[in-house]
Amino acid sequence: MAFPVTDTLRRDLYPELEAYASGWMQTDSIHEIYYEESGNPHGVPVIVLHGGPGGAVNPGMRRYFDPAKYRIVMFDQRGCGLSRPNASLENNTTWDLVADIERLREMLGIDKWVVFGGSWGSTLSMTYAIKHPDRCLALILRGIFLLTQKELHWFYQDGASMIFPDAWERFLAPIPEAERGDLMAAYNKRLLGDDIEERNRCAVAWSTWEGETVSVQGPSGKPDKFADPEFAVAFARIENWYFTNGGFFDSENWILENIETIRHIPCWISQGRFDVVTPISGAWALHRAWPEAKLDIVGDAGHASSEPGIIDSLIKGTDWAAAHS
Say if residue 58 is in the same domain as residue 105.
yes
Dump pLDDT digits (tens) for 35-64. Answer: 999 999 999 999 999 999 999 999 999 999
Dump pLDDT digits (tens) for 77-131. Answer: 999 999 999 999 999 999 999 999 999 999 999 999 999 999 999 999 999 999 9
Active-site option among 38, 83, 119, 215: 119
Say if residue 141 is in the same domain as residue 159.
no
User: DSSP secondary-structure letter at 77?
Assistant: P
Whether the per-residue pLDDT at 2 is higher than 70: the answer is: no
Q: Is residue 12 part of a domain?
A: no
Say if residue 122 is in the same domain as residue 41.
yes
When pLDDT is averaged across residues 246-267 and rounded to a whole number, the result is 98
CATH of the domain at 118: 3.40.50.1820
| Single-letter amino acid code for the residue at 245 | N
Catalytic residue status for 303:
yes
Say if residue 220 is in the same domain as residue 295.
no
Close Cβ partners of 295 (under 8 Å, ≥ 6 residues apart): 269, 271, 283, 284, 286, 287
Catalytic residue status for 119:
yes
What residue numbers bound the domain in which 158 lies?
149-245
For the chain, the domain total comes to 2
Active-site option among 275, 287, 305, 312: 275
Say if residue 86 is in the same domain as residue 215.
no
Mark which of 245, 273, 307 sits at the end of a domain. 245
CB 67 within 8 A of CB 40: yes
Mark which of 213, 245, 277 sits at the end of a domain. 245
Say if residue 43 is in the same domain as residue 82.
yes
Whether the per-residue pLDDT at 311 is higher than 60: the answer is: yes
Q: Is residue 57 part of a domain?
A: yes
pLDDT of residue 181: 98
* Band (233; pLDDT cuts 50, 70, 90): very high
Say if residue 241 is in the same domain as residue 256.
no
Active-site option among 303, 305, 312, 313: 303
Say if residue 76 is in the same domain as residue 217.
no
Dump pLDDT digits (tens) for 149-197. Answer: 999 999 999 999 999 999 999 999 999 999 999 999 999 999 999 999 9
Say if residue 90 is in the same domain as residue 184.
no
- Rounded CA-CA distance 226/232 in Å is 6
